[in-house]
Amino acid sequence: VYSFTRTSGDDTILVIVNLTDKTAQVPAEVAQLLEDGVGESQVLLSTYDAVHSVKSVARGELARWEGVVIQL
């Protein structure tokens, strides 16, 4: 799993990408950023639909080849 944040002023986005063909756990550092949960409106871009990505992140995992960009 490759992940990073970018901040500009008060805006921060998180990019998380699973670059494997297997389900992968979200790293603990990333899970801490998401501990308040993620709503569909925060998903800016996803390789799946926003509902799927919200559920994946809530489970602390990403599906194979899943990528998501989240407004924090």
What residue numbers bound the domain in which 32 lies? Answer: 2-71
CA distance 21 to 63: 8
Place of tokens 């996803």: 46
Q: Tell me the pLDDT tens digit for each residue of 19-72.
A: 999 999 999 999 889 888 898 999 999 999 999 999 999 999 999 999 999 999
pLDDT given at position 36: 85
Could you tell me if 20 and 64 are in contact, meaning their C-beta atoms sit under 8 angstroms apart?
A: yes
Q: What is the dihedral of CA 60, 70, 53, 67, to 10 degrees?
A: -90
Predicted model pTM: 0.89
Give how many domains the chain has, as a whole number: 1
Non-local (6+) Cβ contacts of 3 within 8 A are: 14, 15, 16, 17, 26, 27, 30
- Answer yes or no: is pLDDT of 12 > 90: yes
